[in-house]
Amino acid sequence: MISPAEQTERQSQRQTLTQESRLSFAYDKEREKAQLMSNLPRSTEELSPQIPQRITRLLVWSASRRRKLSPSTTLFLEFVQNEAATTQPDPETFAALCDTLLVEEYLRWRQQMIAIWALGQADLTEEQRKEATKLLAFQLDSRRKGRGQQLTEGIVIGVVSTGAWIIACVTLLATMIETMSYFDRRFDHGTRELVFIPQIFGGLSILCTPVVPFVIFALRGKRAMQIRLETARSLGPLGKAEGVPALLRASQNVGFFVKVGQGALERTLPSLNFEEHYGTLSSDAVPNLCRLLKQSDRPDIVGVVDWQLLLLDALEKVGDARAIDSVMLQTIAHRETLLHRPIVCERAAQVLEVLKERAARETEQETLPRGSVAPVLPETLLRSYEGAIETPPEQLLRASNEEKDRE
């Protein structure tokens, strides 16, 4: 038989061992967490000054949730943090950067912003630059939605968010009432003075319900615009012609153009050339260039003369007959108004002549005379008869009966 004193001693020993094991386990967990987070930034001061402030905040936020991130996301985050995205990424890191942009998840917008910025800063190969430019151009176009798409998305978001809000409020309200009922029974009606709390919460929930879908829709629109702006900032340093059509479409928005559109186009339009890009860009590229040229005298444009000359150079390389009127109007405007700029007028006149010659040449090619009947194949041409003639020569040509009567 074990005495009560021995039982008490053994129980105290087990409790001591249990506490020591828990402390050891907690210590190991903390050490593992510290080792895992040792390479991650704890504040913006620990990151390279080459990384802009808007990206450092996203990096710190993502680092605090690294355990919930996928391995590919962690891979390119380490590349951005350690190398400041200024070196050439290995194939796995580049693939991780591209894959992040292909995932359409609203909650991953921070990682997408970081990946977009990194693609614009990294030292990519020529093939990687083309691939990154096409991907960013697609990203820029996919974030631009028409009124019909915005209306449809707004209705869907409104219905879903309102339903989720109502369910959450009802659940929380029921929990509050049940909790207060429990304490009321437990403490002999001691919580009757707090019965107004569920009533106030229920009233506020009903009042806020109509506002919820508009708030969520506005937040989604703000995030989408941030991603579009960051995409344009990255397309500029890449400097590839594949990104020009998407930038031209996005720059039709005045706010987008003033913030990043003009700067990105100033770095990408010089990459155009006649041999590779004439007739190969999207059908709206030339009209969008013409619209920007017509609006090139706005006061919010920086360096009006250089901007106009850049647009004229681009139209000279890829413009067609659709650009003749815009260039002609630009020439007339500078000659007849006080905004006379000789260098712009001279350059516009040169581009106008090139466009007219190109249009005339294309018209001439389209109106060349063509045969109305298909040509005869060589094997059906008439050839001389090579066989022997059996008919006597005197019978080959005979006079008609009328000729004999006359004779």
> Residue 199 falls within a domain, yes or no?
yes
Same domain, 116 and 168: no
215 shares a domain with 176? yes
Region class of 17: left (phi > 0), else alpha (psi between -120 and 50), else beta: alpha
Same domain, 107 and 163: no
- Same domain for 165 and 104? no
Q: Is residue 188 part of a domain?
A: yes
Helix axes 212-238, 109-121, angle to 10 degrees: 10
Within 120-279, strands assigned E span none
In-domain check, residue 296: yes
Q: Per the structure, how many domains does the chain have?
A: 3
User: Taking the model in full, what pTM does it have?
Assistant: 0.69
Considering only CA atoms, which of 56, 109, 100, 47 is closest in space to residue 75? 100
In a domain, 136, yes or no: no
User: Domain check: are 156 and 113 in the same one?
Assistant: no
Q: Is 128 a domain residue? A: no
Residue 195: its pLDDT value, please?
A: 61
Examine the domain organization and report whether 113 and 167 are in the same domain.
no
Contact 75, 93 (CB under 8 A): yes
pLDDT at 46: 54
Three-point CA angle 243, 249, 250, nearest 5°: 90
Q: Let me know whether 115 and 188 are in one domain.
A: no
Note the pLDDT of residue 137. 92
Q: Is 151 found in the same domain as 106?
A: no
Residue 33 domain-assigned (yes or no) = no
Residue type, 178: E
Taking only the tens place, the pLDDT of each residue in 113-148 is 999 999 998 889 999 999 999 999 998 887 665 555
Q: Are residues 104 and 161 in the same domain?
A: no
Domain match, 110 and 72 both: yes
Confidence (pLDDT) at 58: 86
User: What is the residue type of 29?
Assistant: K
* pLDDT, one tens digit for every residue, the chain (407 residues): 556 666 566 666 556 655 555 555 454 544 544 444 445 454 445 556 678 888 888 888 887 776 777 788 888 888 888 777 778 888 899 998 988 888 766 668 888 999 999 999 888 999 999 999 999 999 888 766 555 565 676 677 777 777 887 888 788 778 877 777 776 666 665 555 566 677 777 777 777 777 777 777 778 778 888 899 999 999 999 999 999 999 999 999 889 999 999 999 999 999 999 889 998 898 899 999 999 998 888 888 888 889 999 999 999 999 888 999 888 887 776 565 545 678 888 888 899 999 999 988 888 877 655 555 555 555 554 555 455 555 555 555 555 555 445 55
- Choosing from 86, 107, 123, the residue where a domain stops is 123
Residue 176 lies in domain: 147-219
Tell me, yes or no, whether 210 and 286 share the same domain: no
Please tell me what DSSP assigns to residue 269.
G
Q: Is residue 129 part of a domain?
A: no
Same domain, 81 and 164: no
Q: Does the residue 298 lie in any domain?
A: yes
